[in-house]
Structure 1
Amino acid sequence: MQIEVNRQLPVPLARQIYQAVVDRIQSNLLEEGTRLPSVRILSKQIGVSLMTVVQAYNELEQDGFIERIQGKGTFVQKNKQGGTTDRQESPYDWQLSVPDYLPRAQFSRYYQLSARFEFFSSTIDPGLLPNRYLEKEIQRILSQEPRILSTYGDVQGDPVLRTELAGYLRESKISTTSDEILVTNGTQQGIDLVARTFVGPGDIVFTEAPTYPAAIDVFRWRGATILPVPVDEHGMRVDMLAALCEKYKPKLIYTMPTFQNPTGTVMSAQRRRQLLDIAYETQCLVLEDDPWSEIHFGKQPPPSLKSMDSLGHVIYLKGLSKILAPGCRVGVLAASGTVFHRLVAAKGNTDLGSPMLTQKAVLPLLHSDRMRNHVKKLRIALQLRRDLMIDLLSVHMPKDVNWLIPQGGVNLWLALPVQIDTEDFLGYARNYQITFLPGAACYPIESKHHFLRLSFSYLNEKEIEEGIKELGKATQSFIKATAAYRKAPIV
């Protein structure tokens, strides 16, 4: 088990060890029943004192993540309500001796959970997407260009598509050209390319807290030290970011300024300018992730950071497939100077270029009346679903549950009573055929466990109505069960 600690961080070493083990458990990288290294062995591996590991193990045991059995060792335990699970020996147990470098992979495991009411999925209901149009386009492309499946495309992306994408971004006042556009397999690949190219062990990466869990997974995998910056109703607290930059020099600032995931907040124009000033002063990169700026329910959000950047600090990501066809996995990366050229090289090392068929399929939609009409209808449909979900939550959820009302995007961020751990609640809610994203997955360190994210974009109105009613029942029941458990006498 490879655990890296950073003595320069304000986080105690014992807490860093605790978080590293919890990340692996919650990512299913350490399965229930897995035997952990002894205190003595782990202290030697990490290079810390015996008492530091003892303190970390004590906290893990207290929080129900591990159990220590006299004479046998220390084992992973996911059942926080107590009790042990006998684990049968497996012919694959030898694999535990093979070290890996995956410190965390939480987000992907939630995709494996299926339920009737999937509030986890922040993707668009397929019924709202131009599926028939894309189907006809793909058939037309295959009939006119049958060799498209048997040839590689340009590493940077289809030149015609890049030209259209540059024009599409210019409509948002992002001054760019086709030579500064890189087509990616979704924004997730864009995040990964930036991390592979510019982030290494020990580098400081600032993220919002909470933030997109899959980005945390990528930065952790690269060995980065992630420092969280709180989010309020106006986005990232750039005053706290500035204070942190006085102590720690960042390599990268990762932000979703427009309809932030998971909170749905919008960074004010003033804070955007302040963030850029910080980037210029510290000479760091800014990774701007912008998946939902088209989906606004009132006035348009402030201009993107990329549109305000004149010195090439901002790397801009947009996932077009989110609002057109998630299965196409077409993302856009825009950057300038040698930063861009290095990212193109990284893309070539990764996959030699994105599939041409899907690039050609989305091409006719860009800059067309069909695209504008589609986005307009999508805004209306999603706003109706947001309003419906908020009305239903007001009726069916306990009074001490609160939420933010987003002015765009696809997610609601809920706060349950502080004694509730939404990771535990997720297991309970699945009995009601419900999934959601537990808030703890959205924090790189010092997780807040009583938050959860609900997405209103994937289910239709009838499913939202039925699902929120069930969620209300599950929440009320779980809060009562938790209170009863806490009051039960210790025997």
Structure 2
Amino acid sequence: MEKYNIKLDNSTKKYLQIYNYIKNLIIEKELKEHEKLPPIRRLSQTIGVNNTTIVKVYELLENEGYVYKTIGSGTFVSRLKSNKEDPNTEFKNEDIIHFDSGNPSTEMFPIEDFKNAVNMAISKEDKAIFEYDEGLGCDELREKIVEYLKTTKVKTTKDNIQIISGAQQGIDIVCKGLINYSDVVFLEEPTYNGAIQVFKSRGAKIISIPMLDDGIDIGILKLKLEKIKPKLIYTMPNFQNPTGISYSTYKKKKLIELAEKYDFYILEDDFISDFSFESNDNRPLKSYDDKNRVIYIKSFSKIFMPGLRIGIVEIPNELLKKILWAKYSSDISTPGLIQKSMYYYMEFFNWNDYIKVVEKIYTEKYILAKKLIKERLSDRLKVRKANGGINFFLELPRGYSSKDFTDFMLSKGVALLPGTYFFDNLVDDRFFRINIAKASIQDLEKGISIISDNLDEFLENYKNQLNLKSNKLFY
């Protein structure tokens, strides 16, 4: 661990200093190709930062192509490719169509209006905007979010809302506040990998419950609950990542009923239930919570500018102190400039009109992608039934590896995410995800056509050539 003895200073944010340090180790080949990076907890202890900081560092390194994750094994150094003069250029291929990224297209961002909101915040708040806010967050912003949540049928007060630096931090602080070593956590299967990694980092025992077309398998969930008592169940009830599945109203209500009966909490991760798409019920699970069992995370990263890293966690009264402490121990507070700027934007720059524009863009892309996938791919691949959102989950025939498939399609100019990313334990790796958030209408048409036009070649040449390391993730 000697090579990771990083001396941090106050020149910039800690995670950026650590990111640049490790990136330089990779570029200078002090970390070799496929060398394993330290586990999150061990590295955080060595450097003297919290786990969330290292999670953010590894995510940034992964997004930039310097590392890859192997589910269940850890994080490893990627192979640097051809351009010896500038190692950074290999990760900037403008010809690749990205169906792997969950970030929205930058064309949606209201840059000019937000610049004005930032200027208003600095002008009106002056020096106070750069002080620590050691409480739940900016009062005015929490009040605006309470107003906005009413439009989704979620009733709360500003005193139950904690401002957070994105959904990933929300999962982390809830986990830090509630989960102890060997506590049981139930997860949907498949589900968001970031949540899997956070629960594992706390030493939780993970039990996966399969997803059906109308939500989690209630029958299997009940069988598990008869034998095992979870502390928490993590769920995305609307337009789930990666499947796009939404819970039926019955299952939303039933899950709350079971939480009360078996005495556990539900951690709801809501990233895009703001829009209805083709769903008959896109209400958050929290809107049905008459038992005070739902801890509700609302992320704005898929509907606003993800780089702002802002969201909220709505907390039942009895858990407020624990989660507030966990947030404080993570980073004291979300930056005041970000909070105040978000408030001024929501207050003075037609937030509701902006949301309608984003809904129109996403809905058009979803409808087109669904049509293209049905017409071009569904005769050869299984497609999970979805009724909205930004993700489509597809399945190759038996005898094929999704890692082989995603590598093959990347060579044809389309980046996809293998299904291994979304399972705690996966025996048969045949799944992959198409994410439409970043792609333009033209990219959707072109990218799905490329997949379709090259699919037969893959099916003919790659059967039963399973890659035993198919859970490596390259970007």
Distance of aligned partners of 1:96 and 1:214 in 2 relative to their CA distance in 1, 3 Å threshold: closer
Structure 2 residue identity aligned to 1:250: P
Amino acid at match of 1:315: I
Percent of aligned pairs sharing the same letter = 28
Asked which structure has the greater CA Rg, the reply is: 1
Alignment of 1:146-165 (within 5 A): 146-148=126-128, 150-165=130-145
Report 1 or 2 for greater relative contact order, CA contacts < 8 Å, sequence distance ≥ 6: 2
Question: Which deviates the most, 444-453 or 103-112?
Answer: 103-112
Q: Which digits, 9 at most, give the CA deviation of each residue in 1:414-450, with x for residues without a partner?
A: 1121222112322222212322221121111235411
The SS at the match of 1:322 is: coil
State how far apart, in whole Å, the 2-side matches of 1:373 and 1:97 are: 45
Counterpart code for 1:437: L
Following the alignment from structure 1 to structure 2, what is the Cα–Cα distance between the partners of residues 390 and 413? 11
Comparing 156-165 with 295-304, greater Cα deviation is found at 295-304
Cα distance change on mapping 1:385 and 1:400 into 2, 3 Å: same
Counterpart for residue 99 of structure 2: 119
Within 5 Å, give how 1:44-193 maps onto structure 2.
101=41, 111-113=63-65, 116-148=96-128, 150-193=130-173
Cα separation, 2, equivalents of 1:309 and 1:248: 23
8 Å Cα contact 1:168-1:367 kept in structure 2: no
Paired residue secondary structure (1:380): helix
Aligned mates of 2:166, 2:39 — CA distance in 1: 30
Determine which of 408, 417, 427 is the counterpart of 1:437.
Answer: 417
Does residue 363 of the first structure (1) align with residue 343 of the second (2)?
A: yes
- Find the aligned partners of 1:197 and 1:241 in 2 and give their Cα distance: 24
> Tell me, what secondary structure is at the counterpart of 1:377?
helix
Evaluate the alpha carbon distance shift between residue 273 and residue 421 of structure 1 in structure 2; reply closer, same or farther with a 3 A threshold.
same
Q: Residues of 1 paired with 2:427 and 2:62: CA distance?
A: 17
- Structure 1, residues 112-153: CA drift from partner, whole Å, max 9, x if none? 345521111122211123222112211332344342563222
Letter in structure 1 aligned against 2:409:
A
With over 3 angstroms needed to count, the CA separation of the structure-2 counterparts of 1:161 and 1:209, relative to structure 1, is same
Aligned CA distance change for structure 1 residues 99 and 122 (closer, same or farther; 3 Å)? closer
Aligned residue in 1 for 2:251? 271
- SS at 2:424's partner residue? coil
Q: Which runs of 5+ in 1 are unaligned?
A: 1-88, 487-491
What one-letter code is carried by the residue in structure 1 that aligns with 2:125?
Answer: E
Call closer, same or farther: CA 1:316–1:447 in 2, change over 3 Å: farther
Distance 1:476 1:372 in 2: 45
Q: Is the 8 A contact 1:320 1:330 kept in 2?
A: yes
Shift in alpha-carbon separation, 1:179–1:250, aligned structure 2, 3 A: same
Distance in 1 between the 2:130 and 2:280 partners?
42
Aligned CA-pair RMSD: 2.8
| CA distance in 2: counterparts of 1:221 and 1:172, whole angstroms | 33
1:226 is paired with a residue of what secondary structure? Answer: strand
**461-470 or 146-155, which deviates more:** 146-155
Cα distance, 1:203–1:465 mapped onto 2, change above 3 Å: same
In structure 2, the residue matched to 1:324 is: 304
Q: How does 1:191-230 map to 2 (within 5 A)?
A: 191-230=171-210
Q: Does 1:232 align with 2:184?
A: no
Question: Which residue of 468, 481, 484 corresponds with 2:448?
Answer: 468
Aligned to 2:390: 410
Equivalent runs, 1:351-430 vs 2, <5 Å: 351-366=331-346, 370-397=350-377, 399-430=379-410
Distance change in 2, residues 1:302/1:126 (3 Å)? closer
Contact 1:401 1:416 in 2 (8 A): yes
What code does the residue aligned with 1:232 have? Answer: L
Q: What is the rounded CA distance, in whole Å, between the counterparts of 1:91 and 1:444 in structure 2?
A: 27
Aligned length: 397
| Residue of structure 1 equivalent to 2:326 | 346
Residue pair 2:130, 2:336 contacting (<8 A) in 1 also: no
Q: Deviations over 1:46-70 (max 9, x none)?
A: xxxxxxxxxxxxxxxxxxxxxxxxx
TM-score, L = length of structure 2: 0.77
1:243 correspondence with 2:223: yes
**Pair 91,228 (structure 1): closer, same or farther in 2 beyond 3 Å:** closer
Tell me if the contact between 1:439 and 1:450 (Cα under 8 Å) persists in the aligned partners.
yes
Structure 2 counterpart of 1:8: none
Q: Which residue of 1 aligns with 2:317?
A: 337
CA contact (8 A) 2:117 2:345 kept: no
C-alpha separation in 1, matches of 2:199 and 2:416: 23
**1:453 aligns to what SS in structure 2?**
strand
CA shift digits 1:355-412 (9 cap, x unpaired): 1111122213437782222222222222221232233334543732132353222111
String of CA shifts for 1:178-221, please: whole Å, max 9, x gaps: 11000000111000111111112211111111111111111111
Provide the C-alpha distance between the structure 2 equivalents of 1:310 and 1:392, rounded to a whole number of angstroms. Answer: 41
**Displacement, 1:102?**
7.2
Deviation at 1:325, TM superposition (A): 1.3
Question: 1:477 aligned to 2:457?
Answer: yes
Distance 1:336 1:420, change over 3 A: same
Partner of 1:259: 239
Aligned to 1:295: 275
* Structure 1 pair 463–178 and aligned structure 2 pair: CA distance change class (3 A): same
Q: Which amino acid aligns with 1:237?
A: D
Describe the shift of the 1:112–1:91 C-alpha distance in structure 2 as closer, same or farther (beyond 3 A): closer
1:156 and 1:183 in contact (8 A); partners too: yes
Look up the SS of the partner of 1:483 in the other structure: coil
Distance 1:380 1:90, change over 3 A: closer
SS at structure 2 position matched to 1:301? coil
Partner Cα distance (1:474, 1:253) in 2? 40
CA contact (8 A) 2:103 2:301 kept: no
Match of 2:458, SS state, is helix
Deviates more, 1:460-469 or 1:326-335: 460-469
